[in-house]
Chain A
Amino acid sequence: MTCLPGKVDRQLGLVIDLDTCVGCHACVTACKGWNDQGYGVPLSDQDPYGADPSGTFLNRVHSYQVEPPGEVPMIVNFPRSCLHCADAPCVTVCPTGASYKRTEDGIVLVNEDACIGCGLCAWACPYGARELDMGAGVMKKCTLCVDRIYNENLPEEDREPACVRTCPTGARHFGDLSDPASAVSRLVAERGGIDLMPEQGTRPANKYLPPRGKDRAPASLLEPLLDVQATGLAGWLDRMLGRF
Chain B
Amino acid sequence: MSSAESRYMETLKAKTEKLLKEVQELQKALGMEQKDLPEETMNRLGEEELTTLEHAYALRVDGHFDLRISEDEMACIGDFYPPSPGGEPLSLEKVQERLQALGVVYGVNWEILGSALFTCNLERQEVLDLFIARGTDPVPEVPEHYQLEEGIQNCKPTLDSDAQRVDFRSVSPFIIVKKGDRLARKVPRRSGVLGRTIRGKDLPFPIERVTFLVPGKNTEEREDGIYAFCDGALKIQENRIQVEPILYITGNVDYHTGNIEFPGDLVVEGAFLDGFQVKVRGSILCKGTIYAANVFCGGNLQVYGGIIGKGKSKVIAEGEVQVKFLENCYLESKGTIYSEAGAFHSVVYTKAEFRTGKKGLVVGGKITAQEGIYIANIGTATSPKTELILGNDFQIQRKLEWIRDKNIDLALRMKEVSQALSRDPDNSELMQTKDALLSHIRQLNEVSQKLIHFLTVREQARLCVQGTVVPGTYVEICNVSYIVPRLMRSVSFYLNRKMGRVEVEPYRVS
- A and B are interacting partners: no
